[in-house]
Amino acid sequence: MIGRTLAQYEITSHLGSGGMGEVYQASDSRLGRSVAIKFLPEAFAKDADRVARFQREARVLAALNHPNIASIHGLEECAGHHFLVMELVPGETLADRIQKGPVPVDEAVLIARQIAEALDSAHEKGIVHRDLKPANIKITPEGQVKVLDFGLAKAYEAESSELNLSNSPTISRTATQHGVILGTAAYMSPEQARGKSVDRRADIWAFGVVLYELVSGKRLFEGETVSDTLAAVLEREVRIDAAPATVQPLLRACLERDPRKRLRDIGDAARLLDLNVADSVAPATRRRSTWLLPTALGLLLAAALVPAALYLLSRPEAAPEIRFESQAAGSDTPFVSPDGTRIAYTAPVEGKNFIWVRPIGSLTAKPVGGTENAENNSLFWSPDNRNLGFAAEAKLKKVDVTSGVVQTIFEGVVLTTSGTWNTDGDVLFASLTKEGPSIMRVASSGGMATPVTPPIKAGEGVALFPQFLPDGRRFLYHTITTPGATGVVYVGSLDSRTSTRLMEIPNFSPTGNSLVHSVPGYVLFSRDRKLFAQPFDEQSLTISGNPMPISENVIQFSSSDNGTVVYRLPPKDAAPSGRTLFWLDREGKTVGQIPIPSPAGSIELSRDDQRVVIDSNVQQNSDVWVIDSRGVPQAIANSAGFEGYPIWNPAGSHITYGANRKALNTNIYQKAANAVGAEEPLFPSPDVTFPRDWSPDGNALVFEFFKIADPTNSDIWMLPMSGDKKPRVFLETPRRETQPQISPDGQYIAYATNASDRYQIVVRTFPDPDKGQWTITSAGGVEPRWRRKDGGELFYLSLDGKMMAVDMPRGPALVPGVPKALFTAPTLYAQPTPLLRRYDVTADGQRFLVSAITAPSGEQASSLPIITIINWTRALKK
């Protein structure tokens, strides 16, 4: 080819070859520049469909414009040849540089940062490299990094491919079909090596492999053959001991084999590299957060959770204090923006919990699109008043309140307490680690989270409500076990994982939310339904004087930067809602009620419908109670730990429940229904298990199983009561299976699963799940319940809160009927949840016992008024 002229390109020299074609240097006579020409493989060029596909992809790639990405100038055809015209990048490849030995860490970080910036720019446009390796990275004589062949792997894909895979180590086939491999063996992500579809996380894995090779001078994965190398990628322990300590945290985050646990955003890599260069020292490890455990949920369901602390108080000294009352839907905490101009809160609409934003003093609030699954009491504002952080679907998210654009910041354990956000883009939130509850730090742009506080020891409560101090580096947080006990407030710092005890608050918020806000000169906190301010020196971190009352009847509050406080009033009867279980008929009319000690999380009727077992949050701690038909309660399990998710055994003699006795994990126990005798452990596990249902003959217990390290998955297991009594998996998938219920004849099991875009109800055969499967819902549903008399009807709650019924006729084969709505269920917790059981149904299917918010009308949550105080510090001078 050398010496030939194609179009305006005179080929001058051969640069190299690979699985994606021959590369030559050429002179562009029209523009007077040197370019690189890449000829497409002959088999490729003869396939018109693939060439058309390549042209489409090449146009997308040509739109990339970044100083660290080699540009594509055009795609040409001449004299039967198809070729790409690309930027000619002088200098050596990274592979050439690594052959000389390890690159000094400071130089390596500069190179790696430029690679990360190139990837980040492309990822933002939805383009994934798919074949990142040292040979595809060049360093110009001026030290600029250029990533080559960006996205060409996808451009070379075919709808069906029969390309020769012998071009090892470059292996090229379509990456979007199972069983097909694409990429370079030593740098492939595990999902690529398995032939699965890939996304940006494959580039993040490859980036980690390249970074390791850059700083160590060694290949991370090697083998005599491609197969051996792929086996190493899939199975060999990832050892990064040869890498400097400063980059090991980032390497661990990039080299997680499970893509769900891998660093989410390559932009965070550049940020972490900046931090490491600046500090010259990095922690040896960065702990990853884990799934929201039922233990934590049970503890936190007890607390009415409260808002983000806002800082930097400044207000005119002579301005008067102003107080006024306004109405707002729902009963969630009102979160005031830092500038004091808007409030945000959550309220249900047709069974979905939206964030609403309303200007202070206005009567009109607007829902924010894309926030229909927001958790109550989890909101916090960005310092610029434009965005709201919130928890939803086991994720930490943010939403632009003007545009409604929602982005995920973090996927993992996000306890539903408000977080905090500083001007540098750091977000803090409460989470759990394997060592215990902690406050975590993540960039507001998203990515990996790291703990910034020491884990709370067992029995000392949960780390909650981080709130930045005005310097944006230090922050307050507190721990609390049960109301009536003493809350402990700590000061933490982004610069150290150590924390300093600041103050203790006796009888800390026993009736509702517990919260500490810092504003210049004061700490605000709630106690005994009263709001107090106490003088606080932010420099010396000392408390002085006595607490000064600001207002009474405060159950949920937040404060702004300019001296505004907003809070909810409690219900008029001064008693928490949800302290009654209501009997409803099939039309949703109230036909009776049962008083209970406090709001119930999960409920289940006894087989004779005469008693109900509940987990009830008394004084911020979940306990198990049996309530008889007269409403007389009997405590079954009420220790200082968590007990919840109770069910009856078939004989009605024992209650089976989940409890945490030694660690964060929840395991299965049982105790006599008359509370006599000690509890009996049924299945000890280092992970999380809690019971869901017994087989009618009592020979098998079906339970839900969470892996502590898995943030999104739960599976259904069985525990035989005879034989070897060894638990076994009933149903295990990459998604969540929850709320299993066995039919009265023991032949079927109904459960909820999020295998699709929403929870649906599915029925399978039991005890063998593979003999038959029926999808019951198409519009979503949770909490299935069988008609216990004969199993001829299946009930569930739709995602918009309606009680649904489905005929399940018996015959040679199961033929489910069409779901029909009976009534709108006034459930206490408006949002669909895979954890709680908010209702049960009598054996004949004629009456429903519902953990509800309100009495006979069965309407959804009533609104609690909001009080606004402007210039609240004037109250201290009265």
Catalytic amino acids? 131
Sheet with 760-765: strands ordered across: 737-742, 748-753, 760-765, 773-775
Number of neighbours of residue 33 by Cβ within 10 angstroms: 12
If you count DSSP H runs as helices and E runs as strands, how many of each does the chain have, helices first?
Answer: 11, 60
d(CA 212, CA 243): 6
| Secondary structure percentages of the chain, helix, strand, coil, to 5 | 15, 35, 50
Token reading at 306: 């409260």
User: Residue 437: what residue type?
Assistant: P
Residues facing residue 84 across a β-bridge: 38, 75
* CA–CA distance, 631 with 446 (Å, rounded to integer): 49
Tokens of 862: 């009533």
How far apart, in whole angstroms, are the C-alpha atoms of residue 517 and residue 363?
Answer: 27
* Spatial separation of the C-alpha atoms in residues 781 and 796, rounded to whole Å: 6
Q: How far from each other are the two terminal CA atoms of the chain, in whole angstroms?
A: 92
The DSSP letter of residue 664 is S
Which secondary structure element, helix H or strand E, spans residue 786, and what is its range?
Answer: strand 782-786
Q: Give the distance from CA 324 to its chain's centroid.
A: 37
CB 406 within 8 A of CB 398: yes
Closest CA to 335 of 545, 559, 12: 559
Using alpha carbons, select from 445, 451, 444 the residue that is nearest to residue 289.
451
- Say which residues have a Cβ less than 8 Å from residue 122's Cβ, sequence separation at least 6: 64, 66, 69, 128, 129, 150, 151
Rounded to whole angstroms, the Cα distance separating 172 from 165 reads 7
Q: Report how far apart, in Å, the C-alpha atoms of 97 and of each of 68, 94, 190 are.
A: 17, 5, 26
Burial class (CB in 10 A: 0-12, 13-18, 19+), 75: buried
Q: How far apart are CA 786 and CA 742, in angstroms?
A: 8
Angle at 455 between CA 451 and CA 457, to 5 degrees: 170
SS3 category, 234: helix
Instruction: Give the residue among 588, 600, 581 at the shortest CA–CA distance from 805.
Output: 588
Contact 498, 490 (CB under 8 A): no
Q: What distance in Å separates the CA atoms of residue 342 and residue 670, rounded to the nearest whole number?
A: 49
**Residue 795 in contact with residue 808, Cβ under 8 Å?**
no
**Quick count: other Cβ atoms within 10 Å of Cβ 785?**
23
In angstroms, rounded to a whole number, what is the distance separating the alpha carbons of residues 209 and 552? 59
Cα–Cα distances in angstroms (integers) from residue 318 to residues 324, 495, 877, in the given order: 19, 38, 12
Rounded to whole angstroms, how far apart are CA atoms 65 and 72? 9
Q: Cβ-count burial of 126 within 10 angstroms (0-12 exposed, 13-18 middle, 19+ buried)?
A: exposed
Alpha carbons 837 and 741: distance in angstroms, whole number: 11
d(C-alpha 397, C-alpha 442), whole Å: 11
Q: Return d(Cα 692, Cα 752) in angstroms, integer.
A: 12
Q: In the structure encoding, which two tokens stand for residue 510, read together?
A: 């026993």
Alpha-carbon distance values, 839 to 122, 323, 513 (Å):
49, 41, 26
